Structure 1
Amino acid sequence: MPYAGGYQSQVFAAGGSPFPFTVQGLEDAAREKLPAPHFDYIAGGAGRERTVAANVDAFARWGLNYRILRDGKPGVPSYTVLDTPMAMPVLLAPAGVADLAHPEAERAAARAAADTGVVQVLSSATSTALEDVAEAAPEGRRWFQFAWPDDEKLARSLIDRAENAGYSAIVLQGDCHVAGWRTRELDSAFFPFQRAHGMGNYLSDRRFRELAVMGPRPARGAALDPAEVVAAAATWNRLYTRPALHPGDLALLRAWTDLPVIVKGVCRPDEATLLADAGADALIVSNHGGRQLDSGLAALDCLPGVVAAVGGRVPVLFDSGIRTGTDVLIALALGASAVMIGRPWLYGLAIGGQEGVTHVLRCLEAEFTGALALTGHRDPATLSPADLTPVTTPSNRRAR
């Protein structure tokens, strides 16, 4: 087995890369590339952004146990969750309004995900209609995040469209039912939905247009007139999410689709138990990347309790704070079946479109595969808490 290989060797052979390799480098490059309100919407969080910081800093409280005795066989980072094969246990997290980062938005991300064998989880609040995203990368694997609207016909329409377009799971968004207090957006007075950003799935929906009194869908790429922008924004704001969510609602959702139903935003063991009992096919531990509730617990600190509560009955995935390949490994060792990344792929999109997202994913894959081998594993499924040691004095330095 060569000492250096894969993406590292390709970078060395090419004499470098136009894209940064560190988390901070990606963020800085995106900040320089984007208008300030666009960058702040992507990077920002709720309030003083303590939850954003806690999500990232939580990983510094765990040290990986390095091993040197080995059989010499190469690591294989591929994995399967809910019958969905993945080149590595990493998915693109649902992130709305991607056209703030790049005009190709979710289509560029879909192509990058397909090229690297990564699953794309598409937000409800996309800049691009879900059918157009599927068409951009027909060979890709996709799940659809469902923000349950407060209109049953619209809800059923979105589910039917996702199923017909080849999405293979429904991710029920539970962690964004109330607007977070986002001071960066308030400072810039920039709320993208007020300008009809992030409404690709709604503006392309017959039922939504009926509710907004907008008439038939125009030709692809046609601009909205000012009155339509106002009508669309007001209708979206009124209907974006149902105010209530109960475990029994999963039965109704199951009556609408045969796809697996995954619930995102679970941080409490008691809620995890109730949702597993109600028939959820999987859970995602997430605090929406710290964008909703300030001073919240780090999502990583919630993961072990949720994993213990469900006792292996359903897979538990993880989101919020993943920045590096070693972060991926730590979350898997604490019981996650797979993880999702959000801001890093948006930073990659901002600085390089499809190639930028591909770069982010290939960096994660290279670092994760190496870390897997260096901790004595060939398969992500064999990771466990035994691979970790608590670090009593966490570093004050943020991950580069």
Structure 2
Amino acid sequence: MAALVCVSDFERYAHEHLPKSARDYYFSGASGQQTLEENTAAFRRLRLRPRVLRDVSRVSTETTLLGRRIAFPICAAPTGIQRMAHPDGEIATAKALADLSSCMTLSWWSTTSIEDVARSAPGGVRWFQLHIDSSRETTVDLIRRAEKMGYEAIVLTVDMPMMGQRYDHIRNRFVLPRSLKFENFSKETASKFSETQSQGNPRMARRLQTMIDPTLNWDSVPWLISVTRLPIVLKGILTGKDAREAVERGVSGIWVSNHGARQLDGVPATIEVLSEIVHAVDGRAEIYLDGGIRHGTDVLKALALGARAVFVGRPILFGLAYKGADGVKQVMEILREEFRTAMALSGCTSLNDISRALVAHESYYWSKL
């Protein structure tokens, strides 16, 4: 087998080797998948404007997230049911990110418990992604478990009051594999999913839907802040107006995301709305971005437009499918080295050198032709 040298190579491997149900679950987007395509295409419409004759013999990719130092600004986004990609699942991801001194965000839909992930990678930087349950007591219990195990932020997903329409899931009558369960749910809830699996019920989404509170609103944010000592990051922001509201409600971070294009199809690519959100926040909170990151140059473009760090989801799954923790490390190391090279070739020796002047939309050059 030829060496895998870029994220696309790992993507092809995963597509060829994963079972169809897992492949379609991981790869699919919502409805007609317009936004899924745009997440990557939008990066290609941006051009880099490098400066030359700079001393780039030493290039540092270090930065901080909410005050915690990490080695490079590429982190793991929350992706559910990772043990469909590899038996070690979330534990493999946690080990890989800890070894590389970056941040992992554990999904609410994890097939490994909060506790087991933390024990597998002591000292690693970990955040916990949260949906507010229809039972506030259940929500607080999850937060307490995350606090106890050393997670450093709560990432509240705000773009999922109900499940998006995902055609491949419907066609495949997707259910959780019998050997797996959502390890952070209560025994009672887990048993209900077991019943769904044993009966071959294709309506697993309905069961999941009953667990997410559709009444979630802006008043829920101060409540969440009041019940935890951890900083709150809102994930799923796509407009400047919502970003301003979030900052006014006291959050520490804004995560620009369209849920991997799995919720509302037809929304913009995340990189397209980043500048608007940076302007609205005006330095009052850290800003992160996911969606469509496949190259180190994509990372550079996102940071130039104002993101503090980017988070990758599907590339983590591609690495898991290839070789577990080692596969995840390879994917992340490729992205890190591509990013470092892109910095050097653009005349940047630290993240402080990366500025808005480094990026232009392709239309900037049309009038020059």
Q: TM-score, normalised by structure 1?
A: 0.85
2:115 to 109, 131, 136: 131
Report 1:135-214 matches (<5 A). Answer: 135-192=119-176, 197=180, 199-202=182-185, 208-210=186-188
8 Å Cα contact 1:98/1:198 also seen in 2: no
Quote the offset at 1:71 in angstroms.
Answer: 2.4
The Cα of 1:349 is off from its aligned counterpart by 0.4
Q: Aligned equivalents of 1:228 and 1:21: distance in 2?
A: 38
2:15 aligned to 31, 47, 53, which one? 31
- Give the CA RMSD over aligned residues: 2.4
Q: Is the Cα–Cα contact under 8 Å of residues 267 and 299 in structure 1 kept in the other structure?
A: yes
**Residues of 2 paired with 1:68 and 1:47: CA distance?**
44
Moved over 2 A (4+): 195-198, 208-214, 224-231, 233-240, 244-248
**Counterpart for residue 306 of structure 2:** 335
The one-letter code matched in structure 2 to 1:102 is H
The residue aligned with 1:79 is 63
Distance in structure 2 (CA, Å) of the matches to 1:177 and 1:343: 22
Higher mean Cα deviation, 168-177 or 349-358? 168-177
8 Å CA contact 1:43, 1:343 repeated in 2: yes
1:242 equivalenced with 2:220 (yes/no): no
Give the match for residue 115 of structure 1: 99
The whole-number CA distance in structure 1 between the counterparts of 2:181 and 2:47 is 39
Matched, 1:261 2:227: no
State the Cα distance separating 1:384 from its structure 2 match: 1.6
Measure, in 2, the Cα distance between the counterparts of 1:179 and 1:288. 11
Q: In structure 2, what is the equivalent of residue 379 of structure 1?
A: 350
Partner of 2:73: 89
Secondary structure of 2:244 counterpart = helix
Cα distance in 2 for residues equivalent to 1:100 and 1:62: 35
One-letter amino acid of the counterpart of residue 155, structure 2: V
* Cα distance, 1:274 vs structure 2: 0.6
- Hey, what does 1:219 align to over in structure 2? none
Distance 1:81 1:352 in 2: 28
Paired with 1:343 and 1:43, the residues of 2 have a C-alpha distance of 8
Is 2:359 the partner of 1:388?
A: yes
Partner Cα distance (1:307, 1:290) in 2: 21
Give the counterpart letter for 2:24 in structure 1.
D
Matched position secondary structure for 2:363: coil
Q: Tell me what 1:44 maps to.
A: 28
Matched, 1:357 2:335: no
Unaligned runs of 5+ residues in structure 2 are: none
**Tell me, which stretches of 5 or more residues in structure 1 are unaligned?**
1-16, 203-207, 215-223, 395-400
Cα 1:76/1:36, change in 2 over 3 Å:
same
Aligned residues: 363
Partner of 2:88: 104
Report the Cα distance in structure 1 between the residues aligned to 2:136 and 2:189, rounded to whole angstroms.
12
Go from structure 1 to structure 2 and tell me whether the alpha carbon gap of 1:366 and 1:198 turns closer, same or farther (over 3 Å shift): farther
